[in-house]
Amino acid sequence: MHHALRRIVISIIPALVIVLGTQQVAAESPGNGAKTASPGGTQALIERGEQQLERGEHQAAISTLSEAVADDPASSLARTRLGGAYLLTQNYDRAIEQFQQAIGRDDQNAGAFIGLGVAYLHLKQAGPAKAALTEARRLAPDKRDDIDVLLQRIEQTAAAPHH
């Protein structure tokens, strides 16, 4: 991957995944039909996982967020966060799996589309990356500038001569 693209992606992954995932909290409140296996259980686990990610404790976050998914398998937010943790540990296949599961549960989850796009970028799959990021851009117009940076880099990388 082009070094400049890698630096940009590395610098914005945690912020985008965490910030956009936070937008899912309101959509998954118990009043909106989301299953809550134990009062505050899934949400408490997600919050603990977020804190672990912010401290750079990626493996601990994967464990905690896996518990959140087990507590509420229908939680798009828990799966988005778990995908983000896998992304940060460069386990792109597992990240893609979780982001796809999150999107399957909530096709309006912009954070999952961003994570999916970034994972595909790391796997040098420009077509799926562009498709996922384009959908994220549609779903989260307030994040358009950050997403456009990634989309422009995909275009520049695709247009660059290969040696």
Buried b (16+ CB within 10 A) or exposed e, 135-146: bbbebbeebeeb
Residue 28 is predicted with a pLDDT of: 46
pLDDT for residue 8 is more than 70: no
CA geometry: angle 98, 99, 103, nearest 5 deg = 115
**How high does pLDDT run on average in the chain?**
82
Question: Please, what are the domains in the chain?
Answer: 3-159 (1.25.40.10)
97 falls in which pLDDT band (50, 70, 90)?
Answer: very high
Q: Does the structure show a pLDDT above 80 at 150?
A: yes
pLDDT tens string 24-43: 444 444 433 444 455 479 99
DSSP string covering 54-112, please?
A: HTT-HHHHHHHHHHHHHH-TT-HHHHHHHHHHHHHTT-HHHHHHHHHHHHHH-TT-HHH
